[in-house]
Amino acid sequence: MTGRLDSPLVRHDVPLAAFTTFKVGGPARYLAEVSDEEQLLAVLDAAPADLPVLVLGRGSNVVVSDEGYDGLIVRLRGTFLEVEVGGDGIVRAGAGVALPRLARAAAAAGRGGLEFYLGIPGSVGGAVRMNAGGHGRDTAAVLRDARIMTVPARDVRTVPVEALGLGYRSSALTDDDVVLGARFVTVPADPATLESRSREIARWRREHQPGGTRNAGSVFKNPPGTSAGRLIDEAGLKGLRRGGAMVSTLHANFLVAEEGATARDIWELVGEVRRRVEAATGIRLEPELRFVGRFEGEEPG
């Protein structure tokens, strides 16, 4: 048990489910919604040195434990939600900016290249951390640099994309690194092309993903040379359930959570899918989802 965190910017025992797309999980011991870097520093300075700290973006790639998170959850609001398209085509965005909004802001200024973000409901910070991507592109291809604060030292630096270690749905960043903002490179594009590309992306998502459900996108990373969805489908696991969690019947690499589902249901289903795919193919799937807080066992399955 660590010492107390007292700050006017911090609330105690705040339910986190509503801040995630799965809509499950317990409370954060502390939650701070900060408007700028000064507030972020003030909260970190008030926190006991051994208190775990985690930045939550739009919660579209996480499962929060039913027990919650025994530490400080930070959400970036205020100036972190600003986006600006420069005359040079460089788009500057705070880490809290939603990716579809980022893409639309660029398109409204006649700039293209970020359309693949339209179907990804994460934030700029989450995209940098996860190297989010889709439709043949990823964050590494469009990012110029990111402004990052390392929590223990509080140092802030601008890190060029090459130094972020971005790989397939991964980066060299750890939970100690807070992405504060990022700059993206765009290309000139005519409105008709952007419009048809956006419609195409929306259509593809509608046809291939269980829209309108509680999910967190792809559960597992694709193993080299194949897709996790195909392996799960071929193992006959579409529709497999644990409590209120189910393998989507539309896209086998999506889990959907019904009303009343728990984080434990999702954890157990992820483990069960992993075990059954491994038994059928010898391939051990690696989760793309991030589990926040305490779960039984070190990893699902």
Ligand X SMILES: Cc1cc2nc3c(=O)[nH]c(=O)nc-3n(C[C@H](O)[C@H](O)[C@H](O)COP(=O)(O)OP(=O)(O)OC[C@H]3O[C@@H](n4cnc5c(N)ncnc54)[C@H](O)[C@@H]3O)c2cc1C
Residues that are catalytic? 169, 218, 288
Residue 182 binds ligand X, judged by CB under 6 A = no
3-class state of residue 240 by DSSP: coil
Contacts of residue 78, defined as CB under 8 A and 6 or more positions apart, other chains included, come to: 34, 35, 36, 39
Return the range that interacts with ligand X (CB under 6 A); candidates 1-9, 48-56, 191-199, 222-230. Answer: 48-56
Residue 21 binds ligand X, judged by CB under 6 A = yes
Shortest spacing between CB 105 and ligand X, in angstroms: 17
The pair of three-digit structure tokens given for residue 123, joined into one six-digit string: 């934030």
Residue 121 binds ligand X, judged by CB under 6 A = yes
Residue 26 binds ligand X, judged by CB under 6 A = no
Residue 58 binds ligand X, judged by CB under 6 A = yes
Contacts of residue 199, defined as CB under 8 A and 6 or more positions apart, other chains included, come to: none
Contacts of residue 247, defined as CB under 8 A and 6 or more positions apart, other chains included, come to: 232, 237, 238, 239, 240, 241, 254, 255, 269, 273
Residue 293 binds ligand X, judged by CB under 6 A = no
Q: Which of 39, 123, 186, 253 binds ligand X (CB under 6 A)?
A: 123
Q: Which of 52, 89, 134, 223 binds ligand X (CB under 6 A)?
A: 134
Residue 94 binds ligand X, judged by CB under 6 A = no
Strand order in the sheet with 69-76: 10-15, 27-34, 69-76, 53-56
Binding-site residue total for ligand X (CB under 6 A)?
A: 34
Length of the chain: 301
Residue with the two structure tokens 């579809």 = 100
Binding residues among 63-92 for ligand X as defined by CB under 6 A: 76
Residue 43's identity, in one-letter code, is: V
Residue 290 binds ligand X, judged by CB under 6 A = yes
Q: Determine the Cα–Cα distance for residues 164 and 147; give it in Å rounded to an integer.
A: 11
Residue 25 binds ligand X, judged by CB under 6 A = no
Q: Determine the Cα–Cα distance for residues 92 and 142; give it in Å rounded to an integer.
A: 12
- Whose Cβ is closer to ligand X: residue 6's or residue 38's? 38
Task: List interacting residues with ligand X (CB under 6 A).
Answer: 21, 54-62, 76, 95, 119-123, 125-127, 129-130, 132-134, 169, 177-179, 209, 215-217, 290
